[in-house]
Amino acid sequence: MTATFAGLVAIVALADLARIALPLGDRYPLKAAGLFALILGLSIGFLQQHHPFSRFGAANQITTLRAILVVLVAGLVGEPTLPAVAVAAVAASVAATVLDGVDGWLARRNAIASSFGARFDMEVDALLILGLSVLAWRHEKAGAWVVASGLLRYLFVAGGTVAPWLHSPLPASRRRQAICVIQIVVLTLVMLPAMEPPISSALAAAALAALSYSFLIDTVWLWRQA
């Protein structure tokens, strides 16, 4: 609860500072805070059953910091599509990406890795990809199809309501981790003001193809296990 409250305070403060430097709307802090609450809501159900430690841990605190940066990026959806806004999205995304891996390393180093930590990290990555993909579309870096990059994971989860076997646990995969990082890096590069179509569209399309391939492999594996 302490980390949650501190995170909300930090988000509102940083969002207000962003509004001083950038032409952002009055609702930007509320959007960012609401997205932070959404991430926690998606992850918190795993807390008691899948976090068997008495303290939140440094790794989850790093993931919370990443979540703050990510909601500041995703909150830019609906704001003016100006180069300065795109640069702000890139800067926050780079910071969140640099911190990615630090949380997992800390968890393994301190022997406090948990399913909750993995789920928390996954939700942060998923929202970052969704936010960047929508921004890439709105900033005309690629067509509306680029939003599929951010929706694939949520469609995969929603598919489990029709085909419960999609909710079965997947084995750890370097391929899955690498493609997730590639997706974030490519969408971040695409958001650079100097990056324009057709190059930005080609990069986004290649990343989407790789992500689709990864989801296809996992879906086929789960179907065969079922």
Q: Are 59 and 103 in contact (CB under 8 A)?
A: yes
Residue 50: which pLDDT band, with cuts at 50, 70 and 90? very low
pLDDT for res 114: 61
The mean pLDDT of 162-166, rounded to a whole number, is: 93
pLDDT for res 37: 86
Q: How many domains does the chain have?
A: 1
Query: Could you tell me the residue range of the domain that residue 8 belongs to?
Result: 2-225
Q: What is the pLDDT of residues 165-187, one digit of tens each?
A: 998 988 888 999 899 999 999 99
Q: Is residue 108's pLDDT more than 90?
A: no
Q: Are 204 and 142 in contact (CB under 8 A)?
A: yes
Find the DSSP H helices in 100-147.
102-109, 115-138
CATH of the domain at 181: 1.20.120
Q: What is the pLDDT of residues 114-139, one digit of tens each?
A: 666 677 888 899 999 999 999 999 99
Three-state secondary structure of 79-96: CCCCHHHHHHHHHHHHHH
Distance CA 138, CA 134 (A): 6
